[in-house]
């Protein structure tokens, strides 16, 4: 069956069309057109929607809502999203960032999907045509999800409250060995009062490092303070072995980079 | 097979074609419209050889479906030297030995053009960042970076 | 850039028109304007697209191939299997009498590496060809595979390639290429120190930006024009002529414009089958590797294993060098017997050593066939040799550059292959490197010359 693209002005109509077997939603094309270019004949049709809300960014009262079609470039240059700019700029090169969307990044398999790692650490809510889901639950079920992602919402951390690190062998544009996002709150005495840590490339999709999160609570961001968190940051990981790095290497360097992120 | 109409301007000229639905812009440009300056190196969004400019933004034509470009302003390297003379970027690439096999060159020049359109006097780091999605396997990147910096200088002299 | 004209001044002529003069590249204007015509920039009405069905196994017997569903698929024009290829078993270097023919254009009865071409599908669109390729059914009986060269050479290892009969290339000199010079054991007996080290490398893919491919257009008079990015035009034409059993006069090859090659485009892989497709359908045919095929299917640089044993004197002279080299050809010869032979020629390095013993083996394994890549047979060897040189210098407590001055060959020195050295220039290169890198060496080394001993 030949490929075909169908465009709908509303998400509702696009959702209905997406019920046909063999169809995939077309966002920026960086994942799905790549797949058909490489000969994935299981994909027979692309569905997309041009509903304007999909391309909107709203920031109000510390609450952020980003439409699913918003590109990495649009996030990187948005004045109210400076905190997320490093994560957005970590995706691909300039052309990819002009195409790749926040919605698509939620579906990017390791070693891609660095921005979704940041969304996981932000404990974002993913809105779909079928309702809202916490990002962690959404990522867990993404392989079977047929709903169209419409937007992603989260609360902006305070300045300096989000730390992002992508480790790649080629700079400035390289594929991840791993990436880490930490969203931390600290009490006036410097001890960590709240922590959410997400890892990229340490499993087939972004994952939370819950043992490390707990180990940081009540601790200061000093070499001694973070030592227990470094010791357990690899708990529960199952990183891929791919052309970028072996699973062994990823596990070995994770605590090193995690330490640099916390102390940097 | 369903044919769909596409219409956009390519380097300032109106183009209209009937294409198979799902055709990439790269294939539409190369096979239908006859502009072979964008190259297909990987069809995966990795090499940048197919880089073009759509509505002022750098895009990868291999991952863009042609149907999504209706009404768009599409620019390619083939359009830079229309009228005969070389664009300053083309001149600088030529003078700086910034080409070897030449396959990455049109994409490199597109990436560099978008940079200079927005940032007429870029730093070396900005040039490196702007070219980071474009792979060259022959010459090494240094002559290419130098060519872009040279073109920027010659541009600013022209303005001054 | 600075030309240091003090070296070889008596051999230099400064009145040349081209040499020594900066000149613009003749192809740059085409490159910067996007007008350079690469093979894929040709487009013909009615052009078919060829997609290859490939082996998912490293080593397997083919029990049966069923192309009936693929042939019925909408848009499919022709499906090719081994029986369609006039001379299906070939080897590239047969043109220079290096046989035996050991590789199939399309697999016949057996596959010997993962990715081997089995069935070619020609269809109106790339998509139709991909869809039909997915419908080809191949019944495989998986066989034990061998991936390690030393395992492959052991008795009882799975036989990779029946056309050879053993897992190494049989040279006229026997199981390996050999260099014998002086008396190696006497050399080791006189040495103050002996150092044996093993060096190994993985296959390396060239990853050219433009993938391997060709477009073939049938002309009148049963003649075919093949637009190709091969780096080896006439090798390819002549091999295509053999494989297709067509006179070379029926084949018109257009090429020379290559979007990066680095040795990765010297094998004869896409052209014969595309020409055959054009012949059997009467239509233009495009066969272009996807990026995945370029990375997985096209020949890489061979994996190598090199064992170097050197005898060295405390005064810095290397008195004996024994090298055993293994080149992993993968499943088929392609250019690897030549690569291994180049290794034999190269392993003494640019050094004068009185006692040399070299054995280099070209080994068959169930890996992707390897072939040419920038200095194949010597580049990995150079890595090994120069690391070895540094280790030897350290062993006797000598500066590594001075250690090389002591051993470097000069004009008139007899090389291990009994070729007297001519036109040597390494002394001068190292002298300049010493200055450029600010790595001082003793004055006597700066006074040396490649021309004469004792200078």
Contacts (Cβ under 8 Å, ≥6 apart) of A215: A228, A229, A231, A232
Q: Does B37 touch chain C (CB under 8 A)?
A: yes
Structure confidence at residue C15 (pLDDT) = 87
Separation CA C260–CA C84 (nearest Å):
32
Residues in chain A within 8 Å Cβ distance of C291: 38
- Return the residue of B nearest to C256 by Cα: B101
Chain position carrying tokens 């959410």? A196
Nearest in space to A261 (alpha carbons), one of A183, A187, A203, A194: A183
| Residue A259: how many other CB atoms lie within 10 Å | 16
Chain position carrying tokens 């002394």? C427
Rg (CA), chain B: 16
Nearest in space to B142 (alpha carbons), one of B79, B100, B84: B100
Q: Does B16 touch chain A (CB under 8 A)?
A: no
Contacts (Cβ under 8 Å, ≥6 apart) of A257: A165, A167, A178, A180
Structure confidence at residue C2 (pLDDT) = 73
Structure confidence at residue C52 (pLDDT) = 98
pLDDT, tens only, B8-65: 999 999 999 999 999 999 999 999 999 999 999 999 999 999 999 999 999 999 999 9
CB contact under 8 A, C32 and B42: no
Alpha-carbon torsion (A117, A118, A119, A123), positive or negative: positive
User: What is the distance in angstroms between the CA of the first residue and the CA of the last residue of chain A?
Assistant: 53
Contacts (Cβ under 8 Å, ≥6 apart) of C83: none
A and C: number of Cβ contacts within 8 A: 18
CB contact under 8 A, A3 and B62: no
| Residue C256: how many other CB atoms lie within 10 Å | 12
Strands C285-288 and C213-218: antiparallel
Separation CA C341–CA C337 (nearest Å):
6
Distance from CA of A16 to the nearest CA of B (A): 20
Joined together, the tokens standing for residue B145 give 């970076």
Separation CA B84–CA C221 (nearest Å):
40
| Residue A196: how many other CB atoms lie within 10 Å | 19
Q: Is the confidence at residue C343, as pLDDT, over 90?
A: yes
Cis peptide bond upstream of C100, omega within 30 = yes
Across chain A, mean pLDDT equals 96
Q: Average pLDDT, stretch C35-56?
A: 97
User: What is the distance in angstroms between the CA of the first residue and the CA of the last residue of chain B?
Assistant: 55
Question: Domains in chain A: how many in total?
Answer: 3
Separation CA C304–CA C347 (nearest Å):
13
Distance from CA of C388 to the nearest CA of B (A): 29
Domain match, A82 and A166 both = no
Domain match, A16 and A93 both = no
Contacts (Cβ under 8 Å, ≥6 apart) of C17: none
**What whole-number percentage of chain C has pLDDT above 90?**
93
Element containing residue B101 per DSSP (H, E): none
Separation CA A33–CA A150 (nearest Å):
20
- Return the residue of B nearest to A99 by Cα: B59
Nearest to A96 among B4, B45, B65 (CB): B45
Domain match, A234 and A173 both = yes
**Contact between B24 and A37 (Cβ < 8 Å):** yes
Q: Is the confidence at residue C139, as pLDDT, over 60?
A: yes
Q: Does B47 touch chain C (CB under 8 A)?
A: yes
Q: Does C125 touch chain A (CB under 8 A)?
A: yes
Distance from CA of A99 to the nearest CA of B (A): 7
Chains contacting C (3 or more CB pairs within 8 Å): A, B
C114 CA to centre of own chain: 19
CB contact under 8 A, A39 and C291: no
Domain match, A180 and A140 both = no
Q: Does C296 touch chain A (CB under 8 A)?
A: no
Separation CA C372–CA C389 (nearest Å):
26
Q: Point out the domain boundary residue: A155, A188, A216.
A: A155
Distances, alpha carbon A125 to alpha carbons A88, A143, A145, A194, C441, in Å: 18, 18, 15, 19, 67
CB contact under 8 A, B22 and A46: yes
Task: Give me the phi and psi of C287, to 5 degrees please.
Answer: -130, 105
Strands C224-228 and C304-312: unpaired
pLDDT, tens only, A202-257: 999 999 999 999 999 999 999 999 999 999 999 999 999 999 999 999 999 999 99
Q: Is the confidence at residue B156, as pLDDT, over 90?
A: no
Separation CA C6–CA C97 (nearest Å):
45
Could you say which DSSP state residue B24 is in? B
| Residue C243: how many other CB atoms lie within 10 Å | 22
Q: CA torsion angle for A20, A25, A30, A31 (degrees, to 10)?
A: -50
Contacts (Cβ under 8 Å, ≥6 apart) of C324: C306, C307, C358, C359, C360, C361
Distance from CA of C295 to the nearest CA of A (A): 11
Residues in chain A within 8 Å Cβ distance of B48: 93, 95
Structure confidence at residue A173 (pLDDT) = 87
Structure confidence at residue C1 (pLDDT) = 65
Distances, alpha carbon C329 to alpha carbons A103, A228, B146, C59, C377, in Å: 46, 50, 40, 15, 11
CB contact under 8 A, C292 and A37: no
Separation CA B7–CA B29 (nearest Å):
12
Cis peptide bond upstream of C11, omega within 30 = no
Across chain B, mean pLDDT equals 94
Q: Does A39 touch chain C (CB under 8 A)?
A: yes
For B:128-157, CB contacts with A below 8 A are 128-130, 132-134
Residue to test with chain C: of A38, A39, A246, most C Cβ within 10 A: A39
**Contact between C312 and C93 (Cβ < 8 Å):** no
Task: Give me the phi and psi of B31, to 5 degrees please.
Answer: -90, -30
**Mind spelling out the 3-state secondary structure of chain C?**
CCCCCCCCHHHCCCCCCCCCCCCCCCCHHHHHHCCCCCHHHCCCCCCEEEEEEECCCCCEEEEEEECHHHHHCCCEEEEECHHHCCCCEECHHHHHCCCCCCEECCCCCEECCCCCEEEEEEECCHHHHHHHHCCCEEEEEECCCCCCHHHHHCCCCCCCCCCCCCCECCECCECCEEEEECCHHHHHHHCCEEEEEEEEECCECCCCCCCCEEEEEECCCCCEEEEECCCCHHHHHHHHHHHHCCCHHHEEEECCCCCCCCCCCCCCCCHHHHHHHHHHHCCCEEEECCHHHHHHCCCCECCEEEEEEEEECCCCCEEEEEEEEEEEEECCCCCHHHHHHHHHHHCCCCECCCCEEEEEEEEECCCCCCECCCCCCCHHHHHHHHHHHHHHHHHCCCCHHHHHHHHECCCCCECCCCCECCCCCHHHHHHHHHHHCCCCCCHHHHCCCCCCCCC
pTM for this predicted structure: 0.95
Residue to test with chain C: of A41, A43, A243, most C Cβ within 10 A: A41
Distance from CA of C122 to the nearest CA of B (A): 18
Structure confidence at residue B157 (pLDDT) = 65
Nearest to B40 among C29, C40, C262 (CB): C40
Could you give the maximum distance between any two Cα atoms of chain B, in Å? Answer: 55
Residues in chain C within 8 Å Cβ distance of A2: 125, 127-128
Domain match, A64 and A26 both = no
Strand, helix or coil for residue A197: strand
Q: Does C58 touch chain A (CB under 8 A)?
A: no
Strand, helix or coil for residue A253: helix
> Please, what are the domains in chain B?
3-79 (3.10.20.30), 88-159 (1.10.150.120)
Domain match, A180 and A147 both = no
**Contact between C342 and C219 (Cβ < 8 Å):** no
Domain match, A110 and A137 both = yes
Joined together, the tokens standing for residue A4 give 């075909």
Distances, alpha carbon C312 to alpha carbons C347, C358, C396, C401, in Å: 16, 17, 8, 15
Q: Does C51 touch chain A (CB under 8 A)?
A: yes
Report angle CA A51, A57, A63 to the nearest 5 degrees: 130
Chains contacting A (3 or more CB pairs within 8 Å): B, C
Q: Does B139 touch chain C (CB under 8 A)?
A: no
For B:59-118, CB contacts with A below 8 A are 59-60, 62-65, 67-68, 111, 114
| Residue A26: how many other CB atoms lie within 10 Å | 23
CB contact under 8 A, A2 and B130: no
Residue to test with chain A: of B63, B64, B131, B145, most A Cβ within 10 A: B63
For residue A15, give its domain range.
Answer: 4-49
Q: What value of ipTM does the predicted structure carry?
A: 0.96
CB contact under 8 A, B65 and A99: no
CB contact under 8 A, A41 and C131: yes
Domain match, A201 and A232 both = yes
Residues in chain B within 8 Å Cβ distance of A2: 1-2, 20-22
Strand, helix or coil for residue A258: helix
> Please, what are the domains in chain C?
48-142+207-296 (3.90.1170.50), 177-204+300-406 (3.30.365.10)
Domain match, A188 and A239 both = yes
| CB-side neighbour CA atoms (13 Å) of A89 | 16
Domain match, A179 and A242 both = yes
Q: Does A170 touch chain C (CB under 8 A)?
A: no
Domain match, A144 and A84 both = yes
Q: Average pLDDT, stretch C365-394?
A: 96
CB contact under 8 A, C125 and A2: yes
Separation CA B76–CA B87 (nearest Å):
12
Distance from CA of C50 to the nearest CA of A (A): 13
CB contact under 8 A, B68 and A3: no
**Contact between B74 and B25 (Cβ < 8 Å):** yes
Separation CA A16–CA A6 (nearest Å):
12
Nearest to A41 among C134, C290, C291 (CB): C134
Distance from CA of A39 to the nearest CA of C (A): 6
Q: Is the confidence at residue C454, as pLDDT, over 80?
A: no
Joined together, the tokens standing for residue C167 give 């897992």
Q: Is the confidence at residue C455, as pLDDT, over 50?
A: no
Residues in chain A within 8 Å Cβ distance of B22: 2-5, 36, 45-46
Domain match, A113 and A141 both = yes
Separation CA B141–CA C414 (nearest Å):
42
Nearest to A41 among C130, C290, C291 (CB): C130
**Contact between A201 and A176 (Cβ < 8 Å):** yes
**Contact between C48 and C285 (Cβ < 8 Å):** yes
- Return the residue of A nearest to C127 by Cα: A2
| Residue C100: how many other CB atoms lie within 10 Å | 14
Task: Give me the phi and psi of C238, to 5 degrees please.
Answer: -70, -40
Residues in chain B within 8 Å Cβ distance of C207: 137
Structure confidence at residue B160 (pLDDT) = 43
Joined together, the tokens standing for residue A114 give 């660095």
Chains contacting B (3 or more CB pairs within 8 Å): A, C
Could you say which DSSP state residue B73 is in? E
pLDDT, tens only, C255-276: 999 999 999 999 999 999 999 9
- Return the residue of A nearest to B19 by Cα: A4
pLDDT, tens only, B6-17: 999 999 999 999
Q: Is the confidence at residue B1, as pLDDT, over 80?
A: no
pLDDT, tens only, A110-158: 999 999 999 999 999 999 988 999 999 999 999 999 999 999 999 999 8
């Amino acid at each position: 069956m030949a490929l075909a693209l169908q465009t709908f002005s509303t998400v509702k109509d696009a959702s209905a069309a997406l019920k046909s077997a063999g169809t995939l939603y077309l966002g920026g094309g960086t994942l799905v057109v790549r797949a058909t270019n490489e000969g994935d004949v299981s994909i027979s049709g692309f569905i997309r929607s041009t509903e304007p809300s999909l391309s909107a960014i709203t920031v109000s009262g510390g609450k952020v809502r980003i439409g699913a079609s918003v590109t990495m470039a649009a996030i990187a240059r948005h004045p109210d999203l400076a905190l997320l700019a490093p994560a957005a700029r970590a995706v691909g090169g300039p052309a990819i960032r002009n195409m790749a969307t926040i919605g698509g990044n939620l579906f990017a398999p390791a070693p891609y999907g660095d921005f979704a790692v940041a969304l996981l650490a932000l404990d974002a809510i993913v809105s779909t045509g079928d309702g809202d889901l916490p990002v962690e639950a959404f990522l867990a079920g993404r392989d079977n999800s047929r709903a169209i992602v419409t937007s992603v919402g989260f609360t902006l951390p305070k300045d300096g409250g989000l730390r992002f690190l992508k480790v790649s062998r080629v700079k400035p544009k390289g594929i991840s060995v791993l990436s880490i996002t930490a969203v931390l709150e600290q009490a006036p005495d410097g001890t960590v009062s709240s922590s959410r840590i997400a890892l990229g490339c340490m499993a087939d999709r972004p994952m939370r490092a819950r043992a490390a999160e707990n180990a940081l609570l009540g601790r200061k961001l000093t070499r001694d303070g973070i030592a227990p968190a470094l010791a357990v940051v690899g708990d529960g990981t199952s990183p891929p072995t791919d052309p970028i790095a072996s699973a062994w290497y990823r596990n070995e360097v994770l605590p090193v980079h995690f330490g640099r992120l916390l102390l940097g | 097979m369903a044919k769909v109409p596409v219409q956009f301007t390519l380097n300032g000229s109106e183009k209209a074609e009937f294409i198979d639905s799902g055709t990439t812009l790269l294939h539409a440009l190369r096979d239908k419209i006859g502009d072979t300056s964008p190259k297909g190196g990987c069809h995966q969004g990795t090499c940048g050889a197919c880089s073009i400019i759509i509505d002022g933004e750098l895009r990868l034509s291999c991952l863009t479906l042609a149907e999504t470009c209706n009404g768009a302003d599409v620019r390619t390297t083939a359009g830079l030297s229309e009228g005969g003379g070389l664009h300053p970027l083309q001149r600088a690439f030529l003078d700086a030995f910034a080409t070897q096999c030449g396959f990455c060159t049109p994409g490199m020049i597109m990436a560099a053009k978008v940079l200079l359109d927005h940032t007429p006097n870029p730093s070396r780091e900005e040039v490196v960042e702007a070219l980071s999605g474009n792979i060259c396997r022959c010459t090494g990147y240094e002559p290419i970076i130098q060519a872009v910096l040279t073109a920027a200088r010659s541009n600013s002299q022209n303005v001054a | 850039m600075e030309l240091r004209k003090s070296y070889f001044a008596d051999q230099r002529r400064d009145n040349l028109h081209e040499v020594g003069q900066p000149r613009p590249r003749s192809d740059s204007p085409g490159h910067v304007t996007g007008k350079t015509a690469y093979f894929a920039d040709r487009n013909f009405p009615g052009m078919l697209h060829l997609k290859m069905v490939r082996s998912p196994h490293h080593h397997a017997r083919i029990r049966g191939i069923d192309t009936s569903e693929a042939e019925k698929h909408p848009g499919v024009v022709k499906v090719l299997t081994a029986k369609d290829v006039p001379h299906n078993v070939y080897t590239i270097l047969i043109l220079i009498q290096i046989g035996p023919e050991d590789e199939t254009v399309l697999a016949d009865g057996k596959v010997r590496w993962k990715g081997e071409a089995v069935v070619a599908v020609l269809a109106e669109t790339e998509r139709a060809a991909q869809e039909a390729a997915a419908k080809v059914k191949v019944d495989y009986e998986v066989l034990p595979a061998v991936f390690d060269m030393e395992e492959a050479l052991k008795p009882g290892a799975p036989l990779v390639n029946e056309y050879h009969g053993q897992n190494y290339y049989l040279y006229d000199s026997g199981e390996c290429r050999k260099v014998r010079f002086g008396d190696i054991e006497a050399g080791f007996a006189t040495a103050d120190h002996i150092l044996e080290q093993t060096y190994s490398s993985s296959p390396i893919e060239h990853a050219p930006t433009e993938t391997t491919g060709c477009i073939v257009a049938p002309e009148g008079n049963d003649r075919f024009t093949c637009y190709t990015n091969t780096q080896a035009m006439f090798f390819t034409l002549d091999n295509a002529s053999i494989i297709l059993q067509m006179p070379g006069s029926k084949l018109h090859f257009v090429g020379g414009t290559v979007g990066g090659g680095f040795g990765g485009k010297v094998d004869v892989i896409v052209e014969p089958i595309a020409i055959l497709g054009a012949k059997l359908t009467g239509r233009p045919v495009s066969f272009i590797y996807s990026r995945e095929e370029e990375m997985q299917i096209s020949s890489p640089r061979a994996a190598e294993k090199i064992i170097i044993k050197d005898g060295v004197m405390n005064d810095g002279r290397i008195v004996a060098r024994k090298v055993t080299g293994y080149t992993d050809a993968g499943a088929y010869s392609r250019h690897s017997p030549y690569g291994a032979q180049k290794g034999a020629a190269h392993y003494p390095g640019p050094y004068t050593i009185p006692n040399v013993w070299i054995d280099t083996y070209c080994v068959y394994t169930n890996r992707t066939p390897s072939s040419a890549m920038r200095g194949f047979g010597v580049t990995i060897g150079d890595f090994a040799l120069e690391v070895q040189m540094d280790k030897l210098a350290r062993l006797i407590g000598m500066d590594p550059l001075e250690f090389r001055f002591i051993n470097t060959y000069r004009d008139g020195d007899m090389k291990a292959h009994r070729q007297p050295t001519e036109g040597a220039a390494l002394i001068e290169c190292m002298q300049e490197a010493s200055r450029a890198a600010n790595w001082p060496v003793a004055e006597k080394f700066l006074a040396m010359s490649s021309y004469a001993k004792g200078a």
